[in-house]
Amino acid sequence: MFRLRHGSNDFPFHVTDPQGLPHLPLTFYACRAENYHSAATVKVYLRHLLEFFSWAEQDEMVKRQHWDLLGNTVQVRAALEYFLTTRLHCILFFGRDLSGADIRKVQITWGKAYRINHLLAALRSFYQLLIAVQYYSHAHPLDLHETKHIIDRIRQQYLDDFVKLNQRSPMPSDSGIDRWRPLRLASSYYRIKDNQWTPEYLDDPGLMARVLAVGEAGGWTLQDTAIVRILFDSGCRIHEVCALTLQDWQTSSFRNMFSARSKGSRGKRVKNIIITDKTLKILLRFIRQDRPELMPYLNGRIALPPHYKCELPLFGTKRGNLLTPDYFRRYRWTPVLTAAGLNIRAHQVRHWFVTMALNEIHSSSGSEADLQQKRSALQALMGWRSDMLHAYDQARQRHDLPLLASAIHAYIENKQHQAPSASDSPNPNESQGMLMLREMFGELP
């Protein structure tokens, strides 16, 4: 098995092969990948890379075929495709790219799309870094070089057409002024087939009250309650709440807003978390009772040091360690909710918040311009770097389909029980469906 070990100095990590010897490419990637990805992303990528390399080292077919994961493009693709089909039970389809080159479409058959996405992303990042430092001399196994040039030309033409039509460059997509988004075209050799991400649409206004009631009955502390209320108040991610510091809170003079990290922001505070007055009171009560050492900073008796000198986290464990998302989910959230029969994940609170926000926005907007302005504000509030509202609109539409079907069924049932009059006797040459459509459009008396 390939293993990740801690090092020191210029090489904080070491990756060893099954014989215990250093594996230089993986070691280099483990030490340098944080220059391009967040620490959490590197951790996930390394886990998939070590699993894949460990499998290739032990598999008999790989040994017989002499497939080398540091060999040429053909060898790497052959080993990966064998792994996808035999280990992950995927189905591969042949396809054509924009350049006419062959590609492979990966069909998920066992519900492991999330894992496969991460595996492909990890391999793409690994070989890209090795190529950048000239450690891997072959073409990128997961990329199509010719397609990149075609995509660049298409994107430039798309932008030129907009500029020619509007006599200006497009505004950012989150401004709400232009309905212009950069084209998302891929040059990947492997494409996940039928893998469009769709959010959950949780249209349950009473969910927050039920979760808090279950938590109170299950023994949640003031810290637990404060964290859960922040999740429901803002729709932020659990790792964003766990990482909050006094310095983040100082943004609003310790009132209703925090500056916070976001997914992929690499530690920068790029979004705001806004909470209610009730959550603020619970948070202050928690500080006074459980974290009294922080009160002098809140009262202004001691100056708060800047982030780069010393960070003062808001939340921690009973042993004084920094509270991690995994610890909160495993020991505070899941046991209490599972015991009460609520199968709710912490991240689903984010989907619930967006659902509630969209319901309010669409019911309160007085015009199309007002609707678009509020939707753009929600985009900024959630800290989305790309337009996620389209995905939520599709989820909302699917959620409303049963209601639409029920209305249609009620209409059909009502028409079947109405006695026909002499004035609207049916034409024997028209079907019942055609008569219904004509009546719905007002063509019948």
pLDDT tens figures, 38-83: 888 898 999 999 999 999 999 999 999 999 999 999 999 999 999 9
DSSP for 45-76 reads: HHHHHHHHHHHHHH-HHHHHHT--TTS-HHHH
Q: From 278, 284, 283, 304, select the one nearest 241 (Cα to Cα).
A: 283
* 393 in any annotated domain: no
- What's the CA gap between 69 and 23, in Å, rounded? 12
**Domain CATH number, residue 304:** 1.10.443.10
Give percent of the chain with pLDDT exceeding 90: 40
Answer yes or no: do 108 and 247 share one domain. no
Domain enclosing residue 228, as ranges: 207-356
Tokens representing 212 are 């808090």
Residues 138 and 18 in one domain: yes
For residue 262, how many other CB atoms are within 10 A of its CB? 19
Sign of CA dihedral 371, 198, 382, 403: positive
Number of domains in the chain: 2
Q: Are residues 35 and 85 in the same domain?
A: yes
Rounded Cα gap, residues 389 and 372, in angstroms: 11
pLDDT of 150 reads 72
Q: With bands split at pLDDT 50, 70 and 90, how would you rate the model's confidence at 382?
A: confident
* Cβ contact 215:226 at 8 Å: no
Q: What is the Cα–Cα distance from 232 to 276, expressed in whole angstroms?
A: 10
Which of 303, 334, 356 is the last residue before a domain boundary? Answer: 356
Does residue 385 surpass a pLDDT of 60?
A: yes
Neighbours of 130 (CB within 10 A): 19
- Each residue's pLDDT tens digit, 227-277: 999 999 999 999 999 999 999 999 899 999 999 888 777 778 888 899 999
Torsion angle defined by CA atoms of residues 223, 224, 225 and 230, in that order, rounded to the nearest 10 degrees: 90
